[in-house]
Chains A and B, each alone.
Chain A
Amino acid sequence: GAVVSQHPSRVICKSGTSVKIECRSLDFQATTMFWYRQFPKKSLMLMATSNEGSKATYEQGVEKDKFLINHASLTLSTLTVTSAHPEDSSFYICSARWHGRPGNEQFFGPGTRLTVL
């Protein structure tokens, strides 16, 4: 149980295009999903917290208009990188918190490698 998937696993796009990344909880409902960014050989940096049916809460320094987050259902959150540029190239990871389960454990997806040319 507690499987989180991401799609796509890898994407290469041209500068200026927008890219959508999906995060799904496959066997549980997630009221809260989190989006992280990870640079090579670095730690995970929280970008935003996404709550189902409400606006995402962004961490300081993360541009809301650049990284659009939608959490339309209890099993799906999407991150759209708008007008992507090479500096947006990174490993994007989502996680989900199991609704109704005690504790604050987060279950992580496998990540999406974004390369902007």
Chain B
Amino acid sequence: DAGITQSPRHKVTETGTPVTLRCHQTENHRYMYWYRQDPGHGLRLIHYSYGVKDTDKGEVSDGYSVSRSKTEDFLLTLESATSSQTSVYFCAISELAGVETQYFGPGTRLLVL
């Protein structure tokens, strides 16, 4: 199994508070991704990174920001959480661009009250 961890695994927060989710990898893969999973939508890409300090937006990036200061860590921040951001968040990594297999972390369940 690819070495990917996510923290926290579960979080409950209130509307308007900032939230940061962390993805950590031990595989030294270049590409890292953040997805959200909602019923009826499958997985949708929020942001991705193609190197340290190199990031780009995905399909559903509004309300989210990311940072990658080290190869192994990719942070997802909800600046001011809203109830519509209640979801399960997955981090994924891949060695090369998306044509290579992506390996997923265990997911973080976030509830915004």
A, B in one complex: no
Q: Which residues on A are within 8 Å of B, measured CB to CB?
A: none
